[in-house]
Amino acid sequence: MQRHLANVLSNKQVSSRYWHMVVDSTNLNKTVNPGQFFQVRCADTYFPFLRRPLSVYRINENTIEFLYLVKGQGTSAMTKIQAGHSLDMMGPVGEGFRLDRSAQNILLVARGVGVATLAAVAQAAYRQGVKSYAIMSARSRDDLLAIEFLEDYGAEVFIVTEDEGTSDVENVKRIIKEDICATTVIDAIYTCGSRRLSKLSQSIANELHIPGEIALEEHMGCGMGACFSCVCDIREGDTTKSVRVCTEGPVFPLDKVVME
């Protein structure tokens, strides 16, 4: 895994809890795929000691972008990084999403910061001429991000929120089955950010025989396969096996992930 010191072009607060950072990627010399992430050093100080994993939100010709939720010590420290500073990041890490070249319509199911991971899929889909249908779930409309970005990439967006009482699993299921799948052949489902919605996506994919993928977000220590802090269970036939999200993932086939 390569370490890069990327020039920060901007780092701005975009809502009460979320920040958006753009870095120069001209010296990366590596293709970055949707679903892959970087292990980011949040500050020049000893603490926070561990790097934090952040998905690529947008992948452009000379820049990459991150969208991050300010959660604890690491992401709070990241908000102090200013344009002109350099970001110490390792990557790109992990296996990203696979977008089938023959797909015509895909469904994205994202909750909260899961949109940061799936937005890059919508961007790649648009470039391949694939139409995205996106279920965006959040606590409130204020907490929703990237809607315009998704629409710019041709996505039809369905917003559900807790505040409006529309984000319950039954309603999301109704939207997917009645408003989307009843009239459109969905070729693949991609999901990230919520266990409840991931379980729902898995059951719909299973019922309608649609292939799917999920990006898992586990706490990470090393981010390079050495510490096993990020393991999760994957179904292999009749048995389960433990995999490391940082190296074997973070993207896995939706039908294989054990979500009890």
Binding of ligand FAD by 116 (CB under 6 A): yes
Phi, psi of 155 (to 5 degrees): -80, 145
Binding of ligand FAD by 50 (CB under 6 A): yes
Binding of ligand FES by 48 (CB under 6 A): no
Binding of ligand FES by 230 (CB under 6 A): yes
Is 40 or 181 the residue whose CB approaches ligand FAD more closely? 40
Which ranges constitute the DSSP H helices of the chain?
73-78, 114-127, 147-152, 169-174, 195-208
Nearest to 200 by CA among 176, 166, 217: 176
The residue count for binding ligand FAD (CB under 6 A) is 26
With CB under 6 A as the contact rule, the residue among 34, 53, 96, 212 that binds ligand FAD is 53
How would you classify the pairing of strands 37-40 and 86-93? antiparallel
Binding of ligand FES by 200 (CB under 6 A): no
Beta strands in 57-193 (DSSP E): 58-59, 63-69, 86-93, 105-111, 131-138, 156-161, 188-192
Minimal distance, residue 169 CB to ligand FES, in Å: 30
Contact 247, 240 (CB under 8 A): no
Binding of ligand FES by 49 (CB under 6 A): no
Minimal distance, residue 230 CB to ligand FES, in Å: 4
Is 185 or 226 the residue whose CB approaches ligand FES more closely? 226
Nearest to 121 by CA among 108, 103, 110, 105: 108
Report the partner that residue 193 touches, choosing among ligand FES, ligand FAD, none (CB closer than 5 to 8 A by kind).
none
With CB under 6 A as the contact rule, the residue among 30, 71, 80, 195 that binds ligand FAD is 71
